[in-house]
Amino acid sequence: GVHDPAPAGSTRALQARLSGFPARGPFLLDGLDIESLVREDLAQNLRESRYFNDLLFYAGASGLFRRLPVELFFLPYENMARDRMLLWAARDAAPQMKTIGYQHTGITPQHLNFRLGKAELASLPLPGAIVAMSEATKELLAGWGFPKRALAVGCALRQAASAPPRAPRPASRPPRLLVLLATSIAEAESLLSALHAAFADRPEAVSALVRAHPAMPRVAELVETRRLQPPFRNGTGQPIEDAWAWADAVVYASSTLGIESVHRGIPAIFFDLGGFLSVDPGFMLDALKWTVSDADGLRRAAAEIAALTPEQLQPAREAGRRFTERYLRPPSADSLAAFFQNDETQPIAR
């Protein structure tokens, strides 16, 4: 039968979990022996990382690829540790298999996983081809070190080709803010605190719907424990299309939905949390977008948006739409073809 390496791989993963990262001394700093500090830092890093699980991921994927006669393997691709484990498993267990990675979400300056040095190119496993969701993100990947010959332009699979027209907000109704919580507890705490500071004592100024990312259960739990009171309410679990139809503007700190909102003609307020590198997926967008960094800025931006007439908004909506169609290319027969190009038109690099 076919040899299954998974048990051996699992054993190696467990050994690594118990023994930690390999480290060789001497560990000297200005003549002082700091070995205990170095080893404790390595141990903490191991405890806080997914190193053990990633090794198990490689072992399981290796066994799967050896058992299944897969010719072409697609994977959502972010050059994260588990992506690399899958690609290493594919290379080692099924070297004849072709691999295509799909760059499927927004890219920000903080996404250092998408920045490759020359030495990394020589050692990291990469997909044979990488299909970017747009020409704009392809250019970013090429500029950040990915080999141009392996890059192709596909589309943003979840992007709507068109959005319904938006009715003007009735003057008698306060503006509605859709607050998008995406990546972490810290982000959610900061946005919720700013929202409360900006509007808790002005319940007549806005109505706010707070929506946690469906793949972030801890953030959803945080929103639930806050027991939001008017003018705020919890919209986690509500279909995003319904939330967009309700909203007059969105507030986001890192969610790609911020850009998708602009595509639908909804003004976006980017809340800058002050990181050294920007986490804004719309960092190249300057139309139909306001940038704030505190509660006062959030309150002013909401008031400015509420004061704009449809005629004043229209040029910004058109400019925002032009950007988003280049950044989030809508699906079409032509754009979908990039996922299925043959070897003559889409090189598969190893």
328-350 residue pLDDT tens: 998 888 888 888 774 433 433 43
User: 46: which 2 tokens?
Assistant: 């191991």
Is the pLDDT score of 102 beyond 90? Answer: yes
Average pLDDT taken over every residue of the chain: 87
Residue-level pLDDT at 70: 87
CA dihedral 105, 108, 111, 112 (to 10 degrees): 140
Is the pLDDT score of 136 beyond 70? Answer: yes
Residue-level pLDDT at 180: 97
DSSP 262-288: HHTT--EEEE----SS---TTTT--SS
Mean local confidence (pLDDT), 216-228 = 88
Residue-level pLDDT at 291: 98
Sheet holding 268-271, edge to edge: 232-234, 207-212, 176-181, 249-252, 268-271, 289-292
Number of residues assigned to the chain? 350
CA-derived radius of gyration, the chain:
24
295-320 residue pLDDT tens: 999 999 999 999 999 999 999 999 99
Q: Which pLDDT band holds residue 160 (cuts at 50, 70, 90)? A: low
**Cα–Cα distance for residue pair 246/5, rounded to 1 Å:** 52
Residue-level pLDDT at 161: 60
**Coil, strand or helix at 32:** strand
Pick the range with the lowest mean pLDDT from 65-74, 78-87, 284-293, 338-347.
338-347
Residue-level pLDDT at 16: 64
Residue-level pLDDT at 348: 38
**Cα–Cα distance for residue pair 233/213, rounded to 1 Å:** 15
Query: CA of 178: how far to CAs of 53, 173, 309, in Å?
Result: 36, 15, 20
Mean local confidence (pLDDT), 60-67 = 92
Is the pLDDT score of 84 beyond 50? Answer: yes
Sheet holding 72-76, edge to edge: 72-76, 98-102, 129-132, 151-153
The whole-model pTM stands at 0.81
* Beta strands, E only, the chain: 28-29, 32-33, 72-76, 98-102, 129-132, 151-153, 176-181, 207-212, 232-234, 249-252, 268-271, 289-292
Q: Give the residue, 2 or 84, on which the prediction is more confident.
A: 84
Mean local confidence (pLDDT), 206-228 = 90
Q: Which pLDDT band holds residue 7 (cuts at 50, 70, 90)? A: low
Residue-level pLDDT at 345: 36
CA dihedral 226, 231, 232, 238 (to 10 degrees): 140
Separation of first and last alpha carbons in the chain: 28
Is the pLDDT score of 8 beyond 80? Answer: no
**Cα–Cα distance for residue pair 36/33, rounded to 1 Å:** 8
Q: Give the residue, 36 or 13, on which the prediction is more confident.
A: 36
| Among the listed residues 277, 265, 272, the one whose alpha carbon sits nearest the alpha carbon of residue 324 | 265
**Cα–Cα distance for residue pair 268/247, rounded to 1 Å:** 11
- By percentage, how much of the chain surpasses pLDDT 70? 88
249-299 residue pLDDT tens: 999 999 999 999 999 999 999 999 998 889 999 999 999 999 999 999 999
Residue-level pLDDT at 347: 36
What residues have CB less than 8 Å from 344, skipping those under 6 apart? none
Q: What value, to the nearest 5°, has the Cα angle with vertex 304 and ends 298 and 305? A: 90
**Coil, strand or helix at 209:** strand
Judged by phi (left if over 0) then psi (alpha if -120 to 50, else beta), residue 130 lies in beta
* Beta strands, E only, 103-244: 129-132, 151-153, 176-181, 207-212, 232-234
**Cα–Cα distance for residue pair 191/295, rounded to 1 Å:** 9
**Coil, strand or helix at 30:** coil
| Among the listed residues 136, 148, 151, 13, the one whose alpha carbon sits nearest the alpha carbon of residue 77 | 151
